[in-house]
Structure 1
Amino acid sequence: MDDTTGSVFTSAVSDADKRSGLRDALNSGELQRWPGAFSPLVAKMISDAGFEGVYVSGAALAADLGLPDIGLTTQTEVVQRGGAIARATDLPTLVDADTGFGEPMSAARTVAALEGAGLAGCHLEDQVNPKRCGHLDGKDVVPVDDMLRRLGAAVRARRDENFVICARTDARTVEGLDAAIDRAKAYADAGADLIFTEALATESEFERFRAAVDVPLLANMTEFGKSELLTAAQLSDLGYNAVIYPVTTLRLAMGAVEAGLSEIAETGTQRGLLDGMQHRSRLYEVLRYAAYNAFDDTIFTYIRPGEPK
């Protein structure tokens, strides 16, 4: 970014360029790694760490609001948080749009709102409404035709053809792997650009899904769930196009917060925690504090044309 211009306040890459870049990346043959960001600051850290994209998890967003992932968050909350995260980095951002927050027309409005907020894409799932976390038991899926209507409305609602519509199927643990594959094929035929199959169990299941479905595929490597944690190299060798680590940063952060609060409660000081903290100087570096100061200087030292110096 140019440290002396207004780009300090937002991404230096246009929304359209992020979307076209995401399209190209999904077809590049290189695995796209998208850690989850639950805040704009985390998105900046993801960018600094050299990843290819940012993911906004519905589970992480709900947890950050103090809610379980059972369909309680609203479209407005997801659009606002997703947009703030997308503006914080030059990377493309994919957001979890749950079931579209209602009927097919609601899914269409959701896509329009997310596109307007600067997201590069979203995924819609085939669970019933209200949904449940994809790695928990007790979830259910809608009939295929209902999901096709949901996807069809979403595809028609986008204005930028490069906005990625990802279809997520939760059928693996409800109807079985064969049914999940059949659903994925139908969703691709309905216009989905990317397929996200939730809760595959083993590497062989990921391999079988890849062999059966001829569109870009996204793998979910969430901790403590139903899926074996495969490495980026393994997923790349299997032919997957993208991988998300949806709640990893939140779990890391909350683990540190919990341990730190216990330490302060027991010892009465945070002195023993300093080595594990992000230093103020590093935080200012991530926030580009110097760039904001430089921009501020150009305002307060500005002289109008013809004005005496």
Structure 2
Amino acid sequence: MDIEKLTKAQIVLLTLLVSFVTSMATGIVAVTLMDQAPPGVTQTIQRVVERTIETVTPNTQVITEKKEVVVTERNLIAGVVEKNLESFARIKKIDDETFTDLGIFVDRTGIILTSSEGILKDGSYYIVNNKGENNSLTLLDLNADKGIAYFRVVNPEGKIFKPIFKTVSIADSSRLKLGQSVAALSGKDSTEILTGIVSSFIEIELAIKDEVPGLGNSAEEIDKEIIPKNTIAGLKTNILASDIVAGTSLLDLEGNIIGINIDSNKSSFIVLDFVNQDLQTISSLSKEVVSLTE
């Protein structure tokens, strides 16, 4: 074969062939030498290769910073108080401006639930909210047996306000647990925050009038066919009774109202499962009164 007569394309192909054969031969020789080389030489070559790879592709580590947010019980209680302050008010007598009870708004039209302790049917009352604002009250219902009373806020002309009041959220009593943390809104002259735990339940089948007014003189007087077994009527806490005033509201750490105190001499509270039914009754009665006056 006369190399001088080869075309450019043939020369390129010949060069590629020679390069391929050379690389094959080099590889075979290298593998043969590696197999025959002492272990020290092999390890040195491997280290050189590893260092070369690390230089080309450096090992980059991604550092993830973890921030742990700790929510303390104190923070939860502060949020609970802030959530309910606007739904909380003091009830006072108009004639001598003395404190009577604490109350909570249970309806946006200004219906307040409170203890019946110290409330008289022919008495005149007003409320002072957390901002120090005063509003007159009209008595809607006084149930001494149940230990509660309902008022409605009215303006000086006796008219009902528009639905502007912030109401409480009532807790589901079936979800209450012994030992759970609770907070209470109390205080005659200024707001006092009391904390404790649920120490025991007062169940309807075991309740007596001395513990929960309105449940009859004995368990036998209760209609057990219409009341589920072990229904919670109230609960006791480890909060000092001396710090509690009538109408003190008890809250869970989610900001829901668990119950209210109807006896300032005890650290017990009645649960509020009955409120929605009472509001329906009050609403129907109010509509009847309005229709008669129109």
Instruction: Identify the TM-score tier after normalising by the shorter chain.
Output: under 0.3
TM-score (norm 1): 0.23
Q: Which structure carries more helix by proportion?
A: 1
Q: Which structure carries more strand by proportion?
A: 2
TM-score (norm 2): 0.24
